[in-house]
C-alpha cells in the first residue's frame, strides 16, 4: 500500500459542524426545479421537423433519383459500407484490427433489393412497371450491369420535368422505368411507408429509410446549413442557437486535427483514443503523476482555506 | 437453532456488514467535518437534484409517448424541462468532477467512489445520446445517421443499432437510466460510508522548522 | 392559450452563430455554457461560504 499523500489520508478526528442533509437536498431540488422551469419558459427547446423521403424527392428530385441509381449500381455509401450492413468493404481498421468486420453483417442491407426492387414490387402494378420488373428479374448479372452502366454514363445529363426523370439513353433496359417509378413512389409518400413496413405492420426500426436518406445529399445539405457536419464540430451542436451536447467537445475535437482529420479510419481511431482517455480518467487515483496534480496545483488551499487558517492560527 | 448458526446465515452476515459500514448516523448525518465549508461542495447535490428533475420530466414524457411533444404545447414544454434539466445535470456534474479532482477526493480508501463517479459520467453521456436519437425529428435523423459510423467502426453497431428507433428508445428510457440511477445510488452510499475526504495534511513540522530557522537568524 | 403561454420568450430557433478561429469552430451557445461552467467553478472556489464568519465569532 502506497504511503503517498495522494493516496493516503488519516481519518478526520477534528471538529464537526452542524449539517442538515435533508434540508440541503430539498433546497437544491427546489432551486434546480425553479431554474429548469425558468430556462424552459424563457428558451423552450428545439424541434426541427423530420425529413421524409417524400419531402426529399419533392424538393430535390434529381438528388433522389441519383441516390436511387447509386443504390442500384452499388456505388452508394450504404452499398459500399461493409459491416454491419454487408460485406462490400472490410470497414475501418484500428491498426491490424477490423473490429466491425469481425462482428459481421448482423443488420443485412441489400441496397438493390431493399431500396428499389422490394418497394417497387409492393406497388400496385402498372403494365409498364410490371414489365420492367419482370425484365430486370429475368436478366442475368451481366445484362443488369450493362443496363446500369449505360444509365449511369448518361446520368450526368439527368433532367426532371413534369414529374418525370429522364436520362438520354436507350440502352438501359428497364432501369429508366424503375428509377422513374421509384421517384413517383417517393413523391407520393408511398416509399416512406414501404421502407419501414418491410418487416410488417408494426414498426419501430428506421434503419432502411435513414440509410437511404443519408446516402443522398439532401439531408447533409440541411445539416450543413444548421452547422451540424462533423467537420463543423457538429457533434456537439444543436439545431438553432441552442446549446447541444457540449460534453462531447473532446470527442469531436479529435476529428478536427491530424492525423484523424485526414484518416480514412478516423472513426475507429477517435473511438480508441476516447476509450483510452476514459480509462485514464477512471484510473486517475492509481496513476502516479496524474493523481499528484491536485497537490501540486494547490487549488485545494482555496477550498479548505478556513481549515488551513485555523490550523496555522 | 444455535446462535452461531444464525450468525453464519447470509442474511445475518449481510445485515451485520451493512449496519457496520452504514450506521444510521452515516446514512442521515447531522454533522459534517468542519472543513466541509465551501460552495464547491454544492455541485454533487445539484447534480442529484438535476437528475431528479430529468427523471420526473422523463416520466411525464413517457406517460404520453414519444411523439406527444411534437403535437402538444404542454408536451413541448415538458420536453424543454427535460432538455434544460439535462443541461444543468451535465453542467453541475462536470464542475463536481473538477472539484473532486482538485481535492484528490479518492484519498483515504475512496478510489472506488471516484471510479463509480466516472462510470456514472460515461453512462450519463450514453443515456443523453440515446435521448438525442429518440427525438423523432430532424435532429435525431441527423445525429443517428452520423453516429452510426463512429459506433459501427468499433463493431458495437452490430448489436447497438442507432438507426433502430425502438431499440434506442428502450435503451434511453429503461436500460441506461436504470444503470445510471443504480450507479448514482452506489456512488452516494460510498460517499456516505466513507465520509467527505479530509484536506491534505500540512507538514507543520517542516514549516515550523523553517520558521524557527528564520527566526533564529 | 396554454400554447402561447408555453412558447419561448426568447426564441433560439433562428440560425446559430459560431465562433470560428483556425480549426476551432464552436457555437456561441455551447461556448456560453462552457465559459459559464468555468466561471461558476471559480466563483464557487472564491465566494465565502456562509457560516464561516459565525464560526469565528462564536469562537
- The model's pLDDT over A216-258, given as tens digits with 9 standing for 90+, comes to 999 999 999 999 998 889 889 999 899 999 999 999 999 999 9
Q: Do A240 and C14 touch (CB under 8 A)?
A: yes
**Any domain includes A62:** yes
Q: Is it true that the peptide bond before B203 is cis, omega within 30 degrees of 0?
A: no
**Any domain includes A47:** no
Residue with grid cell 447541444, as numbered in its chain: A244
Asked which of A181-190, A228-237, A287-296, C34-43 is least confident by mean pLDDT, the reply is A228-237
Find residues 12-71 of chain B whose CB sits inside 8 Å of chain A: 28-38, 40, 42, 45-46, 48-50, 52-53, 57, 69-70
Q: Provide mean pLDDT across the span B2-18.
A: 91
* DSSP β-bridge partners for residue A164: A161
Q: Provide mean pLDDT across the span A58-66.
A: 97
Mean pLDDT for all residues in chain A: 94
**Any domain includes A257:** yes
Residues in C closer than 8 angstroms to B74, CB to CB, are 2, 6
Q: Do C12 and A232 touch (CB under 8 A)?
A: no
- Here the cell at position A3 is 504511503
What whole-number distance in Å separates Cα of residue A5 and Cα of residue A165?
A: 75
- Regarding whether A208 and A154 lie in a shared domain, the answer is yes
What whole-number distance in Å separates Cα of residue B120 and Cα of residue A57?
A: 43
Q: Provide mean pLDDT across the span A192-212.
A: 91
What whole-number distance in Å separates Cα of residue B119 and Cα of residue B187?
A: 10
Q: Does residue B209 carry a pLDDT above 90?
A: no
Q: Does residue C9 carry a pLDDT above 80?
A: no
Judge contact between A280 and A287, C-beta under 8 A. Answer: yes
- Regarding whether A244 and A191 lie in a shared domain, the answer is no
pLDDT digits (tens, 9 = 90+) for A264-281: 999 999 999 999 999 999
Could you give the angle at the alpha carbon of C31 between the alpha carbons of C28 and C36, nearest 5°? 125
What domain count does chain A have? 2
- Here the cell at position A292 is 499528484
Picking from C13, B132, C29, B146, the residue whose alpha carbon sits closest to that of residue A223 is B146
- Regarding whether A202 and A169 lie in a shared domain, the answer is yes
Q: Do B39 and C44 touch (CB under 8 A)?
A: yes
Q: Provide mean pLDDT across the span A175-190.
A: 96
- Regarding whether A238 and A173 lie in a shared domain, the answer is no
- Here the cell at position B59 is 416520466
Q: Provide mean pLDDT across the span B147-157.
A: 94
Nearest-neighbour CA in chain B from C51: distance (Å): 8
**Any domain includes A189:** yes
Q: pLDDT category, B213, cuts 50, 70, 90?
A: low
**Any domain includes A100:** yes
| Helix spans in chain A (H) | 21-43, 53-59, 61-73, 99-103, 111, 118-122, 127-138, 141-154, 175-188, 190-196, 207-215, 218-225, 249-254, 266-282, 293-297, 300-303, 305-312
Classify residue A201 by its DSSP letter.
Answer: S
**Any domain includes A143:** yes
- Regarding whether A77 and A217 lie in a shared domain, the answer is yes
Q: Provide mean pLDDT across the span C9-36.
A: 87
Mean pLDDT for all residues in chain B: 93
**Helix/strand/coil for A47:** coil
Q: Provide mean pLDDT across the span C21-28.
A: 87
Q: Do B39 and C55 touch (CB under 8 A)?
A: no
Q: Does residue A100 carry a pLDDT above 60?
A: yes
Picking from A165, A161, A173, the residue whose alpha carbon sits closest to that of residue A73 is A173
**Any domain includes A18:** no
- Regarding whether A259 and A215 lie in a shared domain, the answer is no
Phi, psi dihedral angles at A300 (to 5 degrees): -60, -25
**Any domain includes A253:** yes
- Here the cell at position A235 is 457533434
Q: CA torsion angle for B181, B183, B184, B187 (degrees, to 10)? A: 160
Asked which of A76-80, A144-148, A241-245 is least confident by mean pLDDT, the reply is A241-245
Nearest-neighbour CA in chain C from B114: distance (Å): 19
**Nearest CB to B70; choose among A22, A47, A308:** A47
Residue-range definition of the domain harbouring residue A166: 53-222
- Regarding whether A157 and A61 lie in a shared domain, the answer is yes
- Regarding whether A250 and A114 lie in a shared domain, the answer is no
Name residues whose C-beta falls within 8 Å of residue A208's C-beta, 6 or more positions apart in sequence.
A109, A114, A115, A195, A196, A198
Q: For chain B, give percent helix, strand, coil, nearest 5.
A: 75, 0, 20
Q: Which residue of C has its CA nearest to B84?
A: C33
What whole-number distance in Å separates Cα of residue B95 and Cα of residue A299?
A: 14
Amino acid at each position: 500500500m502506497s504511503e503517498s499523500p495522494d493516496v493516503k489520508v488519516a481519518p478526520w478526528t477534528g471538529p464537526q459542524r452542524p449539517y442538515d442533509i435533508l434540508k440541503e437536498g430539498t433546497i437544491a431540488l427546489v432551486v434546480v426545479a425553479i431554474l429548469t422551469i425558468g430556462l424552459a419558459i424563457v428558451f423552450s427547446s428545439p424541434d426541427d421537423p423530420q425529413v421524409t423521403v417524400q419531402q426529399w424527392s419533392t424538393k430535390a428530385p434529381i438528388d433522389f433519383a441519383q441516390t436511387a441509381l447509386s443504390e442500384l449500381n452499388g456505388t452508394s455509401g450504404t452499398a459500399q459500407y461493409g459491416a454491419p450492413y454487408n460485406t462490400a468493404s472490410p470497414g475501418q481498421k484500428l491498426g491490424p484490427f477490423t473490429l466491425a468486420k469481425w462482428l459481421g453483417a448482423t443488420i443485412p442491407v441489400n441496397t438493390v433489393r431493399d431500396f428499389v426492387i422490394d418497394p417497387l414490387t409492393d406497388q400496385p402494378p402498372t403494365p409498364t412497371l410490371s414489365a420492367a420488373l419482370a425484365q430486370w428479374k429475368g436478366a442475368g448479372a451481366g445484362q443488369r450491369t450493362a443496363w446500369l452502366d449505360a444509365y449511369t454514363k448518361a446520368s450526368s445529363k439527368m433532367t426532371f420535368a413534369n414529374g418525370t426523370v429522364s436520362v438520354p439513353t436507350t440502352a438501359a433496359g428497364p432501369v429508366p422505368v424503375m428509377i422513374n417509378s421509384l421517384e413517383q413512389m417517393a413523391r407520393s409518400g408511398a416509399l416512406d411507408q414501404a421502407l419501414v413496413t418491410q418487416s410488417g405492420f408494426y414498426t419501430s426500426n428506421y434503419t432502411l429509410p435513414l440509410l437511404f436518406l443519408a446516402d443522398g445529399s439532401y439531408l447533409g445539405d440541411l445539416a450543413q446549413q444548421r452547422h451540424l457536419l462533423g467537420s463543423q464540430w457538429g457533434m456537439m451542436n444543436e439545431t438553432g442557437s441552442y446549446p447541444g451536447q457540449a460534453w462531447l467537445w473532446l470527442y469531436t475535437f479529435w476529428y478536427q486535427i491530424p492525423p484523424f482529420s485526414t484518416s480514412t479510419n478516423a472513426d475507429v481511431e477517435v473511438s480508441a483514443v476516447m476509450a483510452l482517455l476514459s480509462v485514464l480518467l477512471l484510473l486517475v487515483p492509481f496513476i502516479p503523476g496524474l493523481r499528484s496534480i491536485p497537490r501540486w496545483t494547490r487549488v485545494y488551499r482555496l477550498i479548505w482555506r478556513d481549515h488551513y487558517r485555523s490550523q496555522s492560527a | 437453532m444455535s446462535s452461531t448458526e444464525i450468525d453464519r446465515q447470509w442474511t445475518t452476515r449481510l445485515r451485520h456488514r451493512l449496519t457496520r459500514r452504514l450506521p444510521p448516523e452515516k446514512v442521515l448525518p447531522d454533522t459534517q467535518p468542519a472543513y466541509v465549508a465551501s460552495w464547491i461542495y454544492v455541485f454533487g447535490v445539484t447534480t442529484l437534484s438535476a437528475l431528479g428533475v430529468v427523471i420526473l420530466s422523463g416520466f411525464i414524457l413517457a406517460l404520453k409517448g414519444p411523439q406527444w411533444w411534437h403535437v402538444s404545447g404542454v408536451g413541448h414544454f415538458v420536453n424543454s424541462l427535460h432538455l434544460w434539466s439535462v443541461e444543468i445535470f451535465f453542467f453541475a456534474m462536470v464542475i463536481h468532477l473538477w472539484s473532486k479532482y482538485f481535492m484528490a477526493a479518492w484519498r483515504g480508501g475512496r478510489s472506488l467512489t471516484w471510479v463509480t463517479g466516472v462510470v456514472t459520467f460515461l453512462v450519463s453521456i450514453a443515456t443523453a445520446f440515446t435521448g438525442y436519437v429518440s427525438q423523432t425529428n430532424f435532429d435525431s435523423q441527423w445525429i443517428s445517421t452520423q453516429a452510426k459510423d463512429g459506433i459501427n467502426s468499433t463493431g458495437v453497431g452490430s448489436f447497438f443499432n442507432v438507426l433502430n428507433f425502438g431499440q434506442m428508445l428502450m435503451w434511453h428510457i429503461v436500460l441506461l437510466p436504470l444503470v445510471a440511477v443504480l450507479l448514482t445510488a452506489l456512488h452516494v452510499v460510498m460517499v456516505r460510508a466513507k465520509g467527505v475526504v479530509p484536506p491534505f495534511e500540512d507538514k507543520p513540522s517542516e514549516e515550523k522548522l523553517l520558521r524557527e530557522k528564520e527566526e533564529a537568524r | 392559450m396554454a400554447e402561447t403561454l408555453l412558447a419561448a420568450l426568447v426564441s433560439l430557433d433562428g440560425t446559430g452563430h459560431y465562433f470560428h478561429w483556425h480549426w476551432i469552430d464552436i457555437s456561441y451557445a455551447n461556448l456560453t455554457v462552457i465559459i459559464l461552467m468555468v466561471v461558476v467553478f471559480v466563483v464557487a472556489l472564491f465566494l465565502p461560504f456562509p457560516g464561516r464568519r459565525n464560526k469565528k465569532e462564536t469562537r
